[in-house]
Structure 1
């Protein structure tokens, strides 16, 4: 299996003059993308980055951000994407957790970085993208502007050949109260990209929008599969992303052919994108996944776009597995919950509490095995062992598998139907959220005695977050105060939209909070 940089090198060699990225009227060909990535790689190497090091990215989506990902990989390092909207305190937590060697950020964030890290930064180098004046030097790291990066040599650095090596650490919400990093290898990303390109028939003629932030798991579709196919990617500018009508019009004007977004984005476009008035005659495939899309809403989209193929995808961050299930019109609820086919070598196992396969018709937990599996949670071997086990399937067959926490029903013939979750994990705008992490953040406020976070179903975003809080005796903490406290530690999608105050929380007989009663009251 090839390493990821070989995808870009090969495509640049075959299709160097073709546009790779187009954003805000800036066009970057594959030859230019490859050369710029080499410059980033050479800059990182010159500043001490070595194979296996971690390099974080904390910046809005831009051509420079995508160039940087390829540059990090060409340097033999692993990229660590951090939500650009996350507070600098969260970046600092992640940076120290995986001991980043370097950081790529926007120039206008230099002051935030100095205040957050001071002289205790784990990184030794910061590359700044932006056209402003040079940042004030920091005592604990070397700064380099993008102009200085672009002055580096475009000669390709030595190509690393370890496809089992670390390519990325992607952080997700953690049930233990802090984010946890999912370590992914080159082999896993490459296998996912190759299967996706083949399954969807992607080619140099395709035009793909890049809507998902680079910290989102879906962004690897446009980054890796797009380059492997030689397609043109149109990253959505952050200023445009919140406005459905503007996004939809841009996709119509760009003659987009393949879209991959979460259902909440599709529902937003359906509600406020004015799709019926736009020309989507070039659009051939919409892939959606990450949360449930009601069949009724999917039917509305199908009627508006009758020539488009609609495909439901299932994926987990811990396993770069992607399943695809094409839905026919008119859709039924069972269709939108079906887990489809995946690449050869990957297996979907439905196991009971005894970790044995369940019978047809029964509900069990979905486990995944095969080359799609993560390397583990970065620096958390005990937590890794909790979710990755050797499963005995017969007297002479055993596989390493990862539990997903998703409950599925196994139907006769092998079809799998997604039922729900076995824990409190939820999805908000396509992001995975552990309510325990938000509860931990709330409880770190000195006025809070106890806190519970609930998911309130929402037809457009999937879920909205509501916190129920008990204050300490004599303490004074208002709703906005606690929201501001959460916003200083958590990304925006994890900040509760409403906070309700109570004198106490209802308990079950075992002493645990009765979440069902809280939802009903």
Structure 2
């Protein structure tokens, strides 16, 4: 039987206590120091006398202390909710209510032994909310609504770490860049898989994550072999390359792009940035973790598939495509992707959300619970999948079904468009109308007439936005790098 992830990390600390575990702000934290901080946090949490089995919440400000507190929770089998460091009060209170979690004091205070109890809130029973065996409770991005709590069983986290370490060669001599926030599922590879294998985690400061010079400085101080991130990270590294000395990316051997669609321009910049690296497009959801991987061919993929594929299922993952009538699609075609993964959540805590998202296999050919990803995919004749957009982004405009993700793709294909988001707004005459907010490239004088003419070549008339608003600043994004649609909508 495989050792629990926390025990694997403790074993590394016992065998190689002085090896670097974390690197932050020019300083390395050894495995001995990390384990000592975790043990101190265990004592502080025990002194708070939180009922046994009740989840706790650790706000995910990325630091060695926060990682030590989460490790302490894993070591004592206490489920840890990991809300975003900048989560607003209302969604935070909702997450606490959904999980029954008690908020912990600041991680620095827990590690130093100076923690004071925080307001406990109503003493509601935790039984039945968070399943037994849960290690971490991550949160969805909340880009289209309130974030949902996603409990991950310790066994699933451990199974993922085993797979990821093997697939991407993460060992005791491997350094991995940690760009994503700790509440994002990317941290399962960047942080927890790396620590379980005795590697070193290079921590990007969250409040400086959008600063190219900070990224360059970190890579100079702590050369890394594995870089995983959303497309926005690679845009930033592309901008940073203008100030780079050339050695910052020389050690990188594996690049993982995940979390969002990689544009043709984004794909084109990768070979120049990482000339010695294998490049992987990784697909997954917070609910399932990574389920598809494709080793990218920067020149051949677009010519063959018209987009960067998500590839094929990883080992142990079952996946199918569900057609509009609910049947399973055989052979090439298009529909909603459903997956069953050994790394997936035990399910949402809200039964209504659970029933909608987790279903039995439509054909009943494979046992297990499948997650409805909500992603529309195309299966090509060779079995490779490409991502088309979101089923929840499909709206009817003048009676015609339009995928707003496809409209966004058409807008972004214009060379003077840096980014775009499309919202379906209520309309008294047509029921819905499409409104685009477009971030123009620096110095561009692009106008709505020219942009409409550009997208008309690939979109039906109903798919051409009736309103186009240009902005010269980047679109707002969540901490996980996705466009914050709620913020955009509220600004209209």
TM-score of the aligned structures, taking structure 1 as reference length: 0.70
Gaps of 5+ in 1: 108-126, 142-162, 429-433, 440-450, 461-486, 502-521
In the alignment, the residues of structure 2 paired with residue 226 and residue 411 of structure 1 have an alpha-carbon distance, to the nearest angstrom, of 34
Residue 338 of structure 1: SS of its match in structure 2? coil
The alpha-carbon distance between structure 1 residues 389 and 223, as it changes in their structure 2 partners (threshold 3 A), is same
Residue 414 of structure 1: SS of its match in structure 2? coil
Q: Determine if contact 2:60/2:181 at 8 Å carries over to the other structure.
A: no
In the alignment, the residues of structure 1 paired with residue 143 and residue 236 of structure 2 have an alpha-carbon distance, to the nearest angstrom, of 29
Q: Determine if contact 2:91/2:146 at 8 Å carries over to the other structure.
A: no
The alpha-carbon distance between structure 1 residues 405 and 454, as it changes in their structure 2 partners (threshold 3 A), is farther
The alpha-carbon distance between structure 1 residues 403 and 38, as it changes in their structure 2 partners (threshold 3 A), is same
In the alignment, the residues of structure 2 paired with residue 164 and residue 76 of structure 1 have an alpha-carbon distance, to the nearest angstrom, of 9
In the alignment, the residues of structure 2 paired with residue 164 and residue 2 of structure 1 have an alpha-carbon distance, to the nearest angstrom, of 18
Matched, 1:197 2:165: yes
Q: Deviations over 1:494-517 (max 9, x none)?
A: 66257566xxxxxxxxxxxxxxxx
Following TM superposition, by how much is the alpha carbon of 1:247 offset from its aligned partner in structure 2, in angstroms? 0.9
Following TM superposition, by how much is the alpha carbon of 1:307 offset from its aligned partner in structure 2, in angstroms? 1.3
Matched, 1:417 2:418: no
In the alignment, the residues of structure 1 paired with residue 433 and residue 73 of structure 2 have an alpha-carbon distance, to the nearest angstrom, of 39
Following TM superposition, by how much is the alpha carbon of 1:164 offset from its aligned partner in structure 2, in angstroms? 6.8
Residue 330 of structure 2: SS of its match in structure 1? coil
The alpha-carbon distance between structure 1 residues 307 and 494, as it changes in their structure 2 partners (threshold 3 A), is same
CA RMSD of superposed structures (Å) = 3.6
Gaps of 5+ in 2: 122-130, 395-403, 409-420, 426-431, 442-477
- Alignment correspondent of 1:252: 220
Following TM superposition, by how much is the alpha carbon of 1:401 offset from its aligned partner in structure 2, in angstroms? 0.8
- Alignment correspondent of 1:94: 95
Q: Deviations over 1:359-409 (max 9, x none)?
A: 32210110011322211112x122101111111435x64432111001111
1:83-162 counterparts in 2 under 5 A?
A: 83-105=84-106, 140=120
Q: Deviations over 1:45-66 (max 9, x none)?
A: 3433465421111252111111
In the alignment, the residues of structure 2 paired with residue 224 and residue 97 of structure 1 have an alpha-carbon distance, to the nearest angstrom, of 25
In the alignment, the residues of structure 2 paired with residue 324 and residue 54 of structure 1 have an alpha-carbon distance, to the nearest angstrom, of 33
1:235 to 195, 203, 217: 203
The alpha-carbon distance between structure 1 residues 44 and 244, as it changes in their structure 2 partners (threshold 3 A), is same
Following TM superposition, by how much is the alpha carbon of 1:209 offset from its aligned partner in structure 2, in angstroms? 1.7
In the alignment, the residues of structure 2 paired with residue 212 and residue 199 of structure 1 have an alpha-carbon distance, to the nearest angstrom, of 20
Query: Structure with the greater relative contact order (CA < 8 A, sep ≥ 6): 1 or 2?
Result: 1
In the alignment, the residues of structure 2 paired with residue 262 and residue 411 of structure 1 have an alpha-carbon distance, to the nearest angstrom, of 25
In the alignment, the residues of structure 1 paired with residue 141 and residue 23 of structure 2 have an alpha-carbon distance, to the nearest angstrom, of 31
In the alignment, the residues of structure 2 paired with residue 494 and residue 39 of structure 1 have an alpha-carbon distance, to the nearest angstrom, of 41
Q: Determine if contact 1:245/1:273 at 8 Å carries over to the other structure.
A: no
Following TM superposition, by how much is the alpha carbon of 1:228 offset from its aligned partner in structure 2, in angstroms? 1.9
Q: Deviations over 1:42-96 (max 9, x none)?
A: 3223433465421111252111111111011112111111111223343223222
Q: Determine if contact 2:178/2:203 at 8 Å carries over to the other structure.
A: yes
Matched, 1:344 2:345: no
Matched, 1:290 2:249: no
- Alignment correspondent of 2:411: none
Q: Deviations over 1:315-344 (max 9, x none)?
A: 101112343211124253338531234443
Residue 388 of structure 2: SS of its match in structure 1? strand
The alpha-carbon distance between structure 1 residues 97 and 494, as it changes in their structure 2 partners (threshold 3 A), is farther
Q: Determine if contact 2:41/2:110 at 8 Å carries over to the other structure.
A: no
Q: Determine if contact 1:51/1:76 at 8 Å carries over to the other structure.
A: no
- Alignment correspondent of 1:188: 156
Matched, 1:317 2:286: yes
Following TM superposition, by how much is the alpha carbon of 1:309 offset from its aligned partner in structure 2, in angstroms? 1.4
